[in-house]
Amino acid sequence: MALTWEELGWERLSPSVGRRRLPIWDSTVGLVAGDRAALLVDAGSTLREGAELRAQAQRLLGDGRRVTHLALTHPHFDHVLGAAAFAGVEVYGAVGLDTVFETGRDDLLADAVRHGADRPGVTEAVDLLVHPHHLVCAEWTLDLGGVQVLLANVGPGHTGHDLAVLVQGGSDSGSGSGSDSRSGADSRPGSPEIVFCGDLVEESGPPQAGRDAVPTRWPHALDRLLELGGEDAVYVPGHGSVVDAAFVRAQRDELAVRFGVS
């Protein structure tokens, strides 16, 4: 008997969308299932975690389907090091992510080990790190078949290369693939706007600003998230429980005070 999303540890957000909070670092991954294709949002912190996510996604999608697209929200180890488990998948990231992966491998490894990851496993994941095939400068629309997804380069903020993923709700009004415009929607009933925020938003603790953060731009990135999703959207943080627009706005104001930004 097939297991449900919930039985596999996933939270169902709409008929087409679910997310899972991974153990240890509580990083979030998302799965968006269309009729023709499927998108994973972030890939976990290790090759083993990535392989588990890929197997789970295949079970959830059923009918021999698999993940076809992978969006990486930002270049931190707990969100990207599982990507090598997704061979053959189209990988998307914000412009500049490829440069970080090319020149910042030692930093990725050191950061993961500093947080308690297993060095041999991290070394292998870094060696096999998958570079994005598609770099998003502004916006990029994906048509997954009955579900439209907007990839938006909303940063810098938490890092220099923050990508948000908007799963559009409402009635179907068109489609497009690989475009720089927003069009289409999830045509299935009961589908709200869902925004995967990466670590631009955190619910389980204060947002973490490391050396690669751009604090003066972070509140503006959250303004852009709110413009994308609107008041009634479901916002999915990189860590923690799902939140609403009021939470994102409050966190935006806290960051503005924290970093002295108007």
In SS3 terms, the chain reads as: CCCCCHHHCCEEEECCEEEEECCCCCEEEEEEECCCCEEEECCCCCHHHHHHHHHHHHHHHCCCCCCCEEECCCCCHHHHCCHHHCCCCEEEEECCHHHHHHHCHHHHHHHHHHCCCCHHHHHHHHHCCCCCCEEECCEEEEECCCCEEEEEECCCCCCCCCEEEEECCCCCCCCCCCECCCCCCCCCCCCCCEEEEEEEEECCCCCCCCCCCCHHHHHHHHHHHHHHHCCCCEEEEEECCCECHHHHHHHHHHHHHHHCCC
Instruction: Return the pLDDT at 189.
Output: 58
| pLDDT 10s digits, 88-123 | 999 999 999 999 999 999 999 999 999 999 999 999
| pLDDT 10s digits, 212-227 | 999 999 999 999 999 9
Cα Dmax for the chain:
55
Question: What global pTM score does this model have?
Answer: 0.92
Whether a cis peptide bond, with omega within 30° of 0, leads into 15 is no
What is the share, in percent, of the chain residues with pLDDT greater than 70? 91
Q: Is the pLDDT of residue 171 over 80?
A: no
Q: Is the pLDDT of residue 150 over 80?
A: yes
Q: Is it true that domain 6-259 has CATH number 3.60.15.10?
A: yes
Domain boundaries, the chain: 6-259
Section 217-246 average pLDDT: 98
Q: Given pLDDT bands bounded at 50, 70 and 90, which one contains residue 178? A: very low
**Strand bridging mode 28-33 / 17-21:** antiparallel
Q: Given pLDDT bands bounded at 50, 70 and 90, which one contains residue 153? A: very high
